[in-house]
Amino acid sequence: MTKRNIFLVILLVLVLLIPYGIFSYFSSTQSVQIEYKNTSTVEIKQLQKTGEDKIIKDIKSSGQSVRLKKNQDYFVSYKGSSGFADGKVEFKVTPDKTKVSINPYYSESKLKDLLANEQSQIQQALKEKYPGTIGQYQIQAGKLYRWGEWYGTTLKYTGPDQLNADTLRVVLKKENNTWKIATDPPDITLSKNVYPSVPEDILRDINK
Amino acid sequence: MQDNNTIRLSRLKLLVGLFFVIVFSGWAMTQISRSGETKVVVHIIPEDAQVTMNGKPASGGPLYLKPGEYTFSASKNGFKTDTQKLTVGSEAQEVGLLPEPESAEAKEWLEKNPRIQQARESYGGLNANREGQEVQNQTPILEFLPVTLVEDGPFSIDYGKTTKREKGVFLEISDSSPEGREKAISWIRDHQQDPTDLEIRYVDFVNPFSPNREYSND
């Protein structure tokens, strides 16, 4: 083969592959908009198998868009403003994932302050739902979750039946300003399969 | 004459080179477009059943799918529609879509084709193994069950299939006292399983908040 022919073949390969490669590159990324409130520092990161997570982008203002690789997993790491918790939101870049919204939960200290005002209503809700039976249990202090609309606690048995003296767990939710039992009946452990409407992280914390 | 032959030979070489370049380019483009996809082979019996994947028309044979959840369905007149849910990860898989004969004609067709019946049984076994593996992957603690501990308990833990959830199992803790039940839960955690992920039935515990509750699969 002559040098000219070799050159033509190489040129043909480049002509065929390079535009396809460029097209593949641009079609493999997607714009994702980041919206947030009540936060001070927002970063997009990618999990690394070893070492620190890789910072992809600092988000300077709510509504900023970032171009990310499709079908990749990322997370938005943020620091909450005063009274709001730090956290992260994981997401995968898919065709329907064009926006990530950050709305931090209340901080632990703020939730503790709110609990003081809710305690009596919560105990009243338990007494109304389980009159008599609840008297054999000591309702522990418990804690609020999210923006104070979820509550979980343990019930310590104080009755005479030693074969049934298990500590039980219960979760309540505040709806229309009224506390309602979300996991009925209270039980030794609460399953996400039995209570799919209760946030999983709350169940995990209560079950500890 | 010799110059003409040389020219012809050069052109022939160029054409052959061009052919291989095109084939290679096609192969390269296919590999690039399939990156991140997993091979799933779909077997269908009867072969002319209508197939859908996530509600859209699909075909059998090898498919290249991105990781995720897929629902396959095969239907044909005279047969009961078969639906299989598949979780596609990074490893190649096979799935059998096997609508069950319902009409007399369909049953007769299957009776007259023992080899097809054999193939159906083979693909049915494949589906069962896959589902069993999925349950095992979701509930790794099953590998250690059933278990009975006396000195570090007492408790027994066994499991069963629940009909309340697809591919779901429940754990049953029995032969226990309150202390034994706590130890059973610790044992579960020690085996890298969070009780939150499990439906657990405490057989010996009479829940005073629901004393008439009976565990059932209804």
Cβ–Cβ gap A193/B29 under 8 Å: no
The rounded mean pLDDT for chain B is 88
**Residues on chain A touching B34 (C-beta within 8 angstroms):** none
Cβ–Cβ gap B18/A71 under 8 Å: no
User: Can you tell me the distance from the alpha carbon of B45 to that of B66, in angstroms, rounded to the nearest whole number?
Assistant: 25
Tell me if chain A has a CB within 8 Å of the CB of B129. no
Helices B2-34 and A3-27, axial angle in degrees (round to 10)? 10
Nearest CA in chain A to B67: A71
pLDDT of residue A58: 93
**Residue B2 distance to chain A (closest CA, Å):** 16
Cβ–Cβ gap A185/B210 under 8 Å: yes
Cβ–Cβ gap B207/A185 under 8 Å: yes
User: Can you tell me the distance from the alpha carbon of A156 to that of B201, in angstroms, rounded to the nearest whole number?
Assistant: 20
Nearest CA in chain B to A134: B209
Tell me if chain A has a CB within 8 Å of the CB of B216. no
User: Can you tell me the distance from the alpha carbon of B141 to that of B85, in angstroms, rounded to the nearest whole number?
Assistant: 23
Q: A133-142, B125-134, B160-169: which has the highest mean pLDDT?
A: A133-142
Tell me if chain B has a CB within 8 Å of the CB of A17. yes
Cβ–Cβ gap B17/A9 under 8 Å: yes
Which 8-state DSSP code applies to residue A78? Answer: E
Q: Which is more confident, A14 or B182?
A: B182
Q: Where are the beta strands (DSSP E) in B77-191?
A: 79-80, 82-88, 93-97, 100-101, 147-149, 155-162, 168-174
Tell me if chain B has a CB within 8 Å of the CB of A61. no
| pLDDT at B152 exceeding the cut of 80 | no
**Residues on chain A touching B160 (C-beta within 8 angstroms):** none
Nearest CA in chain A to B170: A193
Q: Which is more confident, B212 or B56?
A: B56
pLDDT of residue A125: 97
Which tokens in the block code for residue A125?
A: 């809700």
pLDDT of residue B218: 38
**Residues on chain A touching B209 (C-beta within 8 angstroms):** 130, 133, 168, 184-186
Q: How far is CA B45 from CA A124, A136, B93, B98, B100, in A?
A: 61, 61, 17, 5, 9
Tell me if chain A has a CB within 8 Å of the CB of B175. no
- Print pLDDT tens along chain A (208 aa): 578 888 887 888 888 788 777 777 677 888 999 999 999 889 999 977 777 788 999 999 999 999 998 888 899 999 999 999 999 999 999 888 899 999 999 999 999 999 999 999 999 999 999 998 999 999 999 999 999 999 999 999 999 999 999 999 999 999 999 999 999 999 999 999 999 999 999 999 999 9
